[in-house]
Chain A
Amino acid sequence: MSGARRLSRGGLIDRSQIIKFRFNGKAYTGHPGDTLASALLAQGVRLFGRSFKYHRPRGVVGAGAEEPNALVQVGEAGYSTPNLRATQVELYDGLSAQTVNGWPSLKHDVGAINSMFSRILPAGFYYKTFMWPRSAWMRYEHFIRKAAGLGRTPELPDPDIYDKRHIHCDILVVGAGPSGLIAALTAARSGARVVLADEQTQFGGSLLCTSSTIGGLRAVDWVKKMVDELRTFSEVKLLNRSTVTGYFDHNFLTINERRTHHLASGDSDPRMSRERLWRVRAGEVVLATGAIERPLVFDGNDLPGVMLSSAVTTYIRRYAVAPGKTGVVFTNNDSGYQAAIDMAWAGMEVIAIVDSRRSPGTSVVKEAEALGIPIYKGHVISSARSGSEGLNRVELSTWCRSTGELTAHKGMIDCQVLALSGGLSPVVHLHSQSGAKPVFDSHVAAFLPGASVQKERSVGACNGTFDLGDCFREGIQGALAAANVRGFSAIGVDIPATDYKQHAPIEALWEVPSNILDGARAKKFVDYQNDTTASDIRLAAREGYRSIEHVKRYTALGFGTDQGKLGNINGLAILAKTLNKEPGDVGTTTFRPNYTPVTFGAIAGRNLGSELFDPVRKTAIHPWHVKRGALFENVGQWKRPWYYPRPGESMLDAVNRECLATRASVGVLDASTLGKIDIQGPDTAEFLNRIYTNGWTNLLPGRCRYGFMLGEDGMVMDDGVTTCIASNHYLMTTTTGGAAAVMGWMERWLQTEWPDLKVYLTSVTDHWSVMSVAGPQSRAVLEAAGCDVELDSQSFPFMSVREGKIGDISSRISRISFSGELAFEISVDANYGMALWQTVMDAGRAYDITPYGTEAMHVLRAEKGYVIVGQDTDGSVTPNDLGMDWIVSKNKDFIGKRSLFRADTIRPNRKQLVGLLTDDPKTVLPEGAQLVNSPQNSRPVPMIGHVSSSYYSASIGRSIALALVKGGRARMGSTIFAQLMDDHIVPAVVVDPVFYDPENERTKS
């Protein structure tokens, strides 16, 4: 015994097995084949959630992706997933689900008091009320968001893994209902590579809940036959539990496959991904996405027990659940009759079919009459009423189509289930996402696919074709056409025989009229999830909203997690009527990906953390730094030693020690991360001349030069030292973070503007390990390390390069300095990097050789007024702004030169690089601090610049800073003020940016 409402026959469930699960803390059971919704319905549960705004009790309305009410949070802790539709959650043993809306409990909901105030909570209420005073919105918002919550964000890291696959196919068939299945088989038989994806557990779509036969077979057996044949093709991929969620440019589609959602936590391989995102590039797409039934809009149409007629059919035929004891059907088309027939088959008492039309189709009428079901033609349900457990009565009325008013009240009917059919809305979502515009068709009272923009075609119900035989014909034809385009000549598939029923046309009924007396308080819900009513839409129109996109945003129509799958078409038709327009003139809102919500896990896939998302780069000497207890700084993707604290040292202690040791004796820096580009070819010097601001044609082999690279806008882009190795061979260094951009930039000029230059670039950043040995004892250390190069200033002057050996290691040694000390930069094959480092460290022991990190490097260079591109520059700084006109050639053109003479770049009051000394030598200004003219300012305060670099300098014995200040060089000696975040104001004197050894005697010693 699995539940009071479970039928003893029929359905696609396995009654031999029992599944135990919990819903809102209570234990229930179900069977394999059940969804959470069907199992709960089988046990008489009617209340599934509370609505978003009024917290009205809500039941399950649909049976699939369209469900707006029965939203649940499934799983615990890190496994928790919010806002799943109970109609799509497959049962598994131990499943635990909670309603997402309803506090403190579903039955006694505090927010339901909103319902009593609904007269004063109309559309746009939050905008109108809480936006004044504007500053208070931040305070209100906190409470409003809490009251309006939909599910809870899991707070623990997601323990599951997710992955992605890329796939190409000739034909992607979306949806495995009748049209999609036969299309896939047709395409498969042609030899094309086919992907068939369907969001449900099983293929078959509407055939899983039909009593019809196909070609003499039960529908489910025909489906099995089709799937069995599809499995025989090696080029066919079948994806169930896979929702095609997005249709993007150039026939690129995404499929969200749920791989382990249906398994109990112990039953799945932990190495298996929970979800997979398929990224498909399809030659042709055949859309067979079916149609979603619309509810009818009348007073009380949201009560638990009111369902779509297609959902009633699905629960009875597929899940063997009778959703109540007594039922009524309310329809404006022939398809609603099926629910009455199925309810009768399930043993329910079908009290009435209420048809708003006067002339229903003869065959459905005959079928219903044969079962003894009373049919009320030209009638409507004007109102539904509830008892303690949801729907218990409906009000029957006659109406006049031409006046649009009720004409007579015909009494109340007791019933537990009301099945609604307001017509079928083709699922044109993917078609619309592809860039096409759906077109309103008044014959089917729905939007149908318009002209294709991409390589797609719609077949079956999503194309407005609802007869099964016609669906088969369209599926076959669509697949044949697609296969032809891809160059496959298809062998046809015979159209199987189906039961054909003569159908009478639908007569649109977008809103059921109300009694005059009830008009004001009638609650006719259009969007269940957001509690948008027909009167909200009319109010929006009265207040001047005309575009459906604006009405959507004002009334929240279609804003829920269901994206208005049920309500949008009714809503836009009600707006159209209010504006005296046709629905086609109002149009739909934009259909955007994703069709149903996709987890962030699936979108991220394996692109997480440092291994696969943003790789970490380490130098050859990295293990040594780790061993020495270095703390690291991220520079681009590189890990660079930041400083090497000794036990008990603060960061400032360590940096001071490293700086002082370098200035007093010798320090050593791992400089391997600097970008290195090998440049070869006879035109290299000319190329460097065009790329750098300074001249390069006279640089001899064995010499190196510092250069500035500008953008064409004249702004400093990168800097570095380039060495001439031979007349046609140079090695360029770039900043650590700028290496890839500089490489790409130079490649672009060479390929697109100067293809005549014979110049070839190769990135060699990782090939070389580089250590900088700096300080007055650096020469002695190199000698002690066994360097065979003459190191005295005479034979090895500043800015020159020598090749030789240090010990056994072949080295290229450059006399360059970023510290302002005598320094040697040693480059070796990266495989010898650690060996060289050890050799130098051993040799330096007698000189107390001290490794220093990037922080000390920054302090040392700031003491010298050397800029760091990207720190002291921000893309709006010219060489002149930095006081570095000496590096800009007057005798040649180079990238960005003309821009240095634009009106804006020569105006006097530009921000210029200066030094700053705070009045208090201990105060270190925060980098980024804003600078102002005077300590007393009325707001807004004119900003004259900012601090770009700021440190405590142990060598000088006080704080120093570099800053960009408007007209800074004319302010030397004057006091300006740093305005700090805490309103503290710090006076500082503008000085020359070179604080240490301005004559450069140490560098050249």
Chain B
Amino acid sequence: MLEIECPWCGPRDQDEFSYGGEAHIVRPLSPENLNDREWGDYLFFRDNKKGQHAEQWCHAAGCRRWFNVIRDTVSYRIVSVYRSGDSSSGESP
């Protein structure tokens, strides 16, 4: 079981979190202008990275905030944790 540092609550067991898949997938601003392939890329296709992977987690049984985690998919080491809207270096854009 992973130990994840919620940016608002601190380190907690994975039990308290829910997983949201790959992070930083921006919803297209004008979906109607995309062809099926482009929309399909947004909708269905995700990186299956070996190594550092940016992903969304929600502290579902805690503060219920969504945030981002950089996690190594080989070692499961959590490299960094940052709030939605921040960059992985921890700074607001």
B56's nearest neighbour on chain A, judged by CB, is A752
- The residue that B39 contacts in the complex, of A248, A251, A902, with Cβ under 8 A, is A902
Closest chain-A Cβ to B5's Cβ sits at a distance in Å of 11
Q: Are B1 and A250 in contact (CB under 8 A)?
A: yes
Q: Are B43 and A899 in contact (CB under 8 A)?
A: yes
Q: Are A752 and B76 in contact (CB under 8 A)?
A: no
Q: Are B2 and A249 in contact (CB under 8 A)?
A: yes
Q: Are A250 and B39 in contact (CB under 8 A)?
A: no
B32's nearest neighbour on chain A, judged by CB, is A898
A249 to B78, CA, bound (A): 11
A748's nearest neighbour on chain B, judged by CB, is B66
Q: Are A744 and B39 in contact (CB under 8 A)?
A: no
Q: Are B36 and A252 in contact (CB under 8 A)?
A: no
Q: Are B1 and A249 in contact (CB under 8 A)?
A: yes
B26: which A residues are within 8 A, CB to CB?
Answer: 753
Q: Scan residues 460-492 of chain A and give those whose CB is less than 8 A from a CB of chain B.
A: none
Best-surrounded residue of B18, B26, B58 (most CB of chain A within 10 A)? B58
A249: which B residues are within 8 A, CB to CB?
Answer: 1-2, 76
Q: Are B31 and A898 in contact (CB under 8 A)?
A: yes
**Tally of chain B residues near chain A (CB < 8 A):** 28
Q: Are B40 and A453 in contact (CB under 8 A)?
A: no
A453's nearest neighbour on chain B, judged by CB, is B75
Q: Are A751 and B65 in contact (CB under 8 A)?
A: yes
- The residue that B31 contacts in the complex, of A252, A744, A897, with Cβ under 8 A, is A897
Q: Scan residues 724-762 of chain A and give those whose CB is less than 8 A from a CB of chain B.
A: 744, 747-748, 751-753, 755
A744: which B residues are within 8 A, CB to CB?
Answer: 18, 58, 60
Closest chain-A Cβ to B37's Cβ sits at a distance in Å of 10
Q: Are B40 and A902 in contact (CB under 8 A)?
A: yes
How many A-B pairs have beta carbons closer than 8 Å: the answer is: 56
Contact with B along A671-691 (1 / 0, CB 8 A): 000000000000000000000
B20 at the interface (CB under 8 A from A): yes
Q: Scan residues 215-257 of chain A and give those whose CB is less than 8 A from a CB of chain B.
A: 248-252
A803 at the interface (CB under 8 A from B): no
Q: Provided the pairs A744-B58, A898-B31, A903-B36 are in contact, do residues A752 and B66 lie with their beta carbons within 8 angstroms?
A: yes
B43: which A residues are within 8 A, CB to CB?
Answer: 712-713, 899
A252's nearest neighbour on chain B, judged by CB, is B1
A802 at the interface (CB under 8 A from B): no
A871 to B92, CA, bound (A): 45
- The residue that B13 contacts in the complex, of A281, A751, A899, with Cβ under 8 A, is A281
Contact with A along B55-87 (1 / 0, CB 8 A): 010101000111000000001101000001100
A897 to B64, CA, bound (A): 27
B84: which A residues are within 8 A, CB to CB?
Answer: 751-752, 755
A248 to B13, CA, bound (A): 12
Q: Are A898 and B64 in contact (CB under 8 A)?
A: no
Q: Scan residues 132-148 of chain A and give those whose CB is less than 8 A from a CB of chain B.
A: none
A122 at the interface (CB under 8 A from B): no
A748: which B residues are within 8 A, CB to CB?
Answer: 20, 58, 66
Closest chain-B Cβ to A894's Cβ sits at a distance in Å of 10
B65: which A residues are within 8 A, CB to CB?
Answer: 751
Contact with B along A893-911 (1 / 0, CB 8 A): 1000111001100000000
Q: Scan residues 468-524 of chain A and give those whose CB is less than 8 A from a CB of chain B.
A: none
B50 at the interface (CB under 8 A from A): no
A435 at the interface (CB under 8 A from B): yes
Best-surrounded residue of A435, A712, A897, A898 (most CB of chain B within 10 A)? A898
A897 to B32, CA, bound (A): 8
Best-surrounded residue of B13, B30, B34 (most CB of chain A within 10 A)? B13
B76: which A residues are within 8 A, CB to CB?
Answer: 249-250
Q: Are B34 and A898 in contact (CB under 8 A)?
A: yes
A206 to B93, CA, bound (A): 60
A250 to B3, CA, bound (A): 6
Q: Are A281 and B3 in contact (CB under 8 A)?
A: yes
A713: which B residues are within 8 A, CB to CB?
Answer: 43
A755: which B residues are within 8 A, CB to CB?
Answer: 84-85
B27's nearest neighbour on chain A, judged by CB, is A753
Chain A's interface size range is 20 to 34
A740's nearest neighbour on chain B, judged by CB, is B60
Closest chain-A Cβ to B13's Cβ sits at a distance in Å of 7
B27: which A residues are within 8 A, CB to CB?
Answer: 753
B36: which A residues are within 8 A, CB to CB?
Answer: 902-903
Q: Are B32 and A747 in contact (CB under 8 A)?
A: no
Best-surrounded residue of B18, B30, B34, B40 (most CB of chain A within 10 A)? B40
A747 to B56, CA, bound (A): 13
Q: Are A250 and B20 in contact (CB under 8 A)?
A: no
Closest chain-B Cβ to A226's Cβ sits at a distance in Å of 31
Closest chain-B Cβ to A1003's Cβ sits at a distance in Å of 35
A897 to B43, CA, bound (A): 12
Q: Scan residues 249-273 of chain A and give those whose CB is less than 8 A from a CB of chain B.
A: 249-252
A893 to B28, CA, bound (A): 11
Contact with A along B1-45 (1 / 0, CB 8 A): 111000000000100001010000011101110101001100100
Closest chain-A Cβ to B41's Cβ sits at a distance in Å of 12
A902: which B residues are within 8 A, CB to CB?
Answer: 36, 39-40
B2: which A residues are within 8 A, CB to CB?
Answer: 249-250
A754's nearest neighbour on chain B, judged by CB, is B27
A252: which B residues are within 8 A, CB to CB?
Answer: 1, 3, 13
Q: Are A751 and B66 in contact (CB under 8 A)?
A: yes
A511 to B43, CA, bound (A): 59
B56: which A residues are within 8 A, CB to CB?
Answer: 752
Q: Are B66 and A747 in contact (CB under 8 A)?
A: yes
A755 to B86, CA, bound (A): 12
A248: which B residues are within 8 A, CB to CB?
Answer: 1
Contact with B along A402-427 (1 / 0, CB 8 A): 00000000000000000000000000
B65's nearest neighbour on chain A, judged by CB, is A751
A250 to B85, CA, bound (A): 27
B85's nearest neighbour on chain A, judged by CB, is A755
B32: which A residues are within 8 A, CB to CB?
Answer: 893, 897-898
A898: which B residues are within 8 A, CB to CB?
Answer: 28, 31-32, 34, 39
Q: Scan residues 291-321 of chain A and give those whose CB is less than 8 A from a CB of chain B.
A: none
B83's nearest neighbour on chain A, judged by CB, is A751
Best-surrounded residue of A166, A755, A893 (most CB of chain B within 10 A)? A893
A250 to B64, CA, bound (A): 23
B12's nearest neighbour on chain A, judged by CB, is A281
B66: which A residues are within 8 A, CB to CB?
Answer: 747-748, 751-752
Best-surrounded residue of A251, A744, A755 (most CB of chain B within 10 A)? A744
Closest chain-A Cβ to B8's Cβ sits at a distance in Å of 12
A490 to B31, CA, bound (A): 62
A250 to B75, CA, bound (A): 10
A435: which B residues are within 8 A, CB to CB?
Answer: 75
A898's nearest neighbour on chain B, judged by CB, is B31
- The residue that A747 contacts in the complex, of B13, B39, B64, with Cβ under 8 A, is B64
A497 to B44, CA, bound (A): 67
Closest chain-B Cβ to A294's Cβ sits at a distance in Å of 32
Known: A751-B84, A752-B56. 4 other contacts (CB 8 A): A249-B2, A250-B1, A755-B84, A902-B36
A interface residues, Cβ below 8 angstroms from B: 166, 248-252, 281, 435, 453, 712-713, 744, 747-748, 751-753, 755, 893, 897-899, 902-903
The contact sample of 27 A-B pairs, CB cut-off 8 A, is A166-B13, A249-B76, A250-B1, A250-B2, A250-B76, A250-B78, A251-B3, A252-B3, A281-B3, A281-B13, A453-B75, A744-B58, A747-B64, A747-B66, A748-B58, A751-B65, A751-B84, A752-B84, A753-B26, A753-B27, A755-B84, A893-B30, A897-B31, A898-B28, A902-B36, A902-B39, A902-B40
B interface residues, Cβ below 8 angstroms from A: 1-3, 13, 18, 20, 26-28, 30-32, 34, 36, 39-40, 43, 56, 58, 60, 64-66, 75-76, 78, 84-85
**Across chains A and B, which 5 residue pairs bring their CB atoms closest together, nearest first?**
A898-B31, A250-B3, A751-B66, A252-B1, A249-B76
